[in-house]
Amino acid sequence: MTTDSATPTDRSFLFVLGSSRPDGNTEILARAAAGQLPAGTPQRWVDLTKVPLPDFQDGRHESGSWPVGETEEELRRATLEATDIVIASPLYWYSLSAHTKRYLDYWAGWLRVPGLDFKQRMAGRTLWGVTVLAHEEEVVADGLVTSLNHSAAYMGMRFGGVLLGNGSRPGQVRDDERAMVRAKTFFERETPLARFPYEA
Ligand SMILES: Cc1cc2nc3c(=O)[nH]c(=O)nc-3n(C[C@H](O)[C@H](O)[C@H](O)COP(=O)(O)O)c2cc1C
């Protein structure tokens, strides 16, 4: 886990990297967007392959507590310290990668930790997504976008949307000019409170 901050601002970003390979397209695109954040905005980068979480075990309806591993504790703290959470996941099978999905599964456990007030504390913060896909038509990433939007809505969070890029081989996203241009202003977007489609 690395932290990069110059001068403090009232926002701090947690970038959660969920590719299964190092130096992938999704990280390249996320870093291009992060490079445009105002100077001094704290950024923490977590590569989920380097801080591996065991498979999530659903103990929500069991009595008593279950052991919390060091990695889980570190990620929970990093999550609660950030105002903005950026899920940087390649498109895998039209959805989130297993690494990022597993990280989000842990949120379901954190919702039930007595005294943590996870949902109340995350409400009003902002969820973002960055994804790269091999398919040229970006519409096929709708499943991932919907998953993040609905997760933000459930949590009472804001949703900044998903920065999309195209590429297959590592580094190929750099050739997607449209994505690299979008990256420049991605974090300047409006971040409305997320809503489920049935809500007004
Ligand atoms: C397990 C797996 C599943 C994938 N599923 C899709 C998919 O559903 N749609 C798609 O367009 N590309 C798919 N791809 C291609 C990746 O999205 C693409 O190579 C992307 O650039 C990987 O990002 P990364 O370099 O950050 O890992 C898949 C790749 C892998 C390894």
pLDDT number for residue 2? 61
Q: What is the CATH number of domain 9-58+67-188?
A: 3.40.50.360
pLDDT band at 186 (very low <50, low <70, confident <90, very high): very high
pLDDT in tens, 104-158: 999 999 999 999 999 999 999 999 999 999 999 999 999 999 999 999 999 999 9
CB neighbour burial string for 43-67, b if at least 16 within 10 angstroms, e if fewer: bbbbbbeebebeebeeeeeeeeeee
Q: Is 26 in the pocket of ligand 1 (CB under 6 A)?
A: yes
Segments making up each domain of the chain, as ranges: 9-58+67-188
Q: Please name the residue whose Cα sits nearest to atom 16 of ligand 1.
A: 133
Q: Please name the residue whose Cα sits nearest to atom 31 of ligand 1.
A: 92
Q: Hey, which of 100, 133, 163, 166 would you mutate to test ligand 1's pocket, going by the most ligand atoms within 8 Å of its Cβ? A: 133
pLDDT number for residue 52? 84
Q: Is 132 in the pocket of ligand 1 (CB under 6 A)?
A: yes
d(CA 4, CA 194): 28
pLDDT in tens, 71-109: 999 999 999 999 999 999 999 999 999 999 999 999 999
pLDDT number for residue 6? 46
Q: Is 93 in the pocket of ligand 1 (CB under 6 A)?
A: yes
Q: Hey, which of 21, 91, 137 would you mutate to test ligand 1's pocket, going by the most ligand atoms within 8 Å of its Cβ? A: 91
Q: Please name the residue whose Cα sits nearest to atom 24 of ligand 1.
A: 24
| For the CA of 28, the nearest atom of ligand 1 | 26
pTM here is 0.95
What is the number of helices (H) and of strands (E) in the chain?
Answer: 6, 6
- Residue at 136: amino acid letter: E
pLDDT in tens, 22-48: 999 999 999 999 999 999 999 999 999
Q: Please name the residue whose Cα sits nearest to atom 6 of ligand 1.
A: 92
Output helix, strand, coil percentages for the chain, rounded to the nearest 5.
35, 20, 45
d(CA 94, CA 142): 8
pLDDT in tens, 50-59: 998 999 988 8
- DSSP assigned state of 92: B
